[in-house]
Chains A and B, each alone.
Chain A
């Protein structure tokens, strides 16, 4: 039985099509992916991302614990600040990617860790078990079922939000979080998102999610547009561009080197230091198809002579560019732009060139 967000009935009434994603029954599309995508790039769109996990870490050792379990430096966050990080295991392989928020001081909790859909329980367990093993004094609460999460994304998002909140959103930089009322509902307002646009994410009480959702009345967007938007930016999709079982990759291979702070202690640090020194055999690169066709997950990538190089982990027709784009792990010598390769699209080798994401100018 799939989990449902507090907006499930509202999405159904709005005519959405649905799919299972990370164990949640989520809207893929409301109007059309093209329409929804364009709204975010040009104006503003709203997403229900209540399927994302919320794990609150509090207590005297909340900082030390979170710092040990994420590759970024949690100690560098002041209250009200956030950053992107990887959760790695001992061999440096990414279990998930996440945003870590250090909550404003008056908040009930120290850190908010937001894992991907379906990863909330394992993240909670990981934090709790590590705290027990290492003797950290911290309380770890899985609050996924307590928070709805709405993302407002696009150049008009700050102005739209300003009409509904008492917070001075213009004063907030990127990756900040503050407490405020939105449409009369107490919320955590974070200047984060996963589309490459300006925007906010609103953590609101589960039962009041719909009131906030209705108040921010702009284009509804589903997971289809979320996928094309994140892929144009070269942002990773957990479970697809990396996966501990099927696509085991380190942050260096996945191209998120900036999340790894080797001068901190964290699980997987030694393995990652070794890879940093020795270099990666393969890295995630962008591909732009020169020939016509749509690259899709799993399609083989070869040299022009047909020699196997790797496979596409994410691919689509970019709605912004009107061109086919993809991500693939290729040998390190292919990480420079404009190397010519082939993507095998349903048996046909199609010409493509390597590139460095983002694919669009942002």
Chain B
């Protein structure tokens, strides 16, 4: 089975992705992660204004069969939360890199991206 690993994202080993556009970092979990979890039924996220620290957990994604913490791929201030997931957590399964995004963050230090896995390295990890 092959999983979608977009080239415009960087990845944590714990399967979170981050994409930077116009100075804003969008964070979610990978296609592989959503497939491993199965049907997502509940998402717990921080509030706008909360501070995230790289590699620390900032929320929870629960499927019918499992509970999984999600970790911040980048430090910074939460500027937006995907509230739609409260009512439609299945978006995380259907479109993990699009409508299933978790939070938007104003990065404290974009240099942290250099510590993350490249798409190639992440593909190697999940193969």
Contacts and interface: CB of A to CB of B under 8 A. Distances in A.
Interface of A: 15, 28-29, 32-34, 224, 228, 292-294, 296, 316-317, 319, 324, 346
B60 A317 contact: no
B60 A319 contact: no
Interface string B75-100: 00000000000100010010000000
Interface stretch (B24-32, B36-44, B101-109, B116-124): B36-44
Given A292-B86, A346-B60, A28 B65 contact: yes
Of all A-B residue pairs in the complex, the 4 with the closest CB atoms, nearest first, are A317-B41, A34-B39, A33-B64, A294-B62
B67 interface: yes
Given A33-B38, A316-B64, A317-B42, 12 more contacts: A15-B1, A32-B38, A32-B39, A33-B64, A33-B65, A34-B90, A292-B86, A294-B41, A294-B42, A294-B67, A317-B64, A346-B67
Contacts of A296: 67
Interface of B: 1, 38-39, 41-42, 44, 60, 62, 64-65, 67, 86, 90, 93
B42 A29 contact: no
Contacts of B65: 28-29, 33, 224
B119 to A, nearest CB: 25
A324 B1 CA distance: 31
A316 B42 CA distance: 11
Given A33-B64, A294-B62, A294-B67, A224 B41 contact: no
B64 A34 contact: yes
Contacts of A346: 60, 67
A296 B42 CA distance: 13
8 contacts: A33-B64, A33-B65, A34-B39, A292-B86, A317-B42, A319-B39, A319-B64, A346-B60
Contacts of B60: 346
Contacts of A224: 38, 64-65
A228 B86 contact: no
Contacts of B93: 32
Contacts of A319: 39, 64
B39 A33 contact: yes
Contacts of A15: 1
Contacts of A317: 41-42, 62, 64
Nearest to A17: B38
A221 to B, nearest CB: 13
Contacts of B67: 294, 296, 346
A199 B67 CA distance: 32
Nearest to A317: B41
A13 to B, nearest CB: 14
Contacts of B64: 33-34, 224, 228, 316-317, 319
B109 to A, nearest CB: 30
B110 to A, nearest CB: 32
Contacts of A29: 38, 65
Nearest to A322: B41
B4 to A, nearest CB: 17
B103 to A, nearest CB: 17
Contact of A292 (B1, B38, B42): B42
A351 to B, nearest CB: 15
Contacts of B42: 292-294, 317, 324
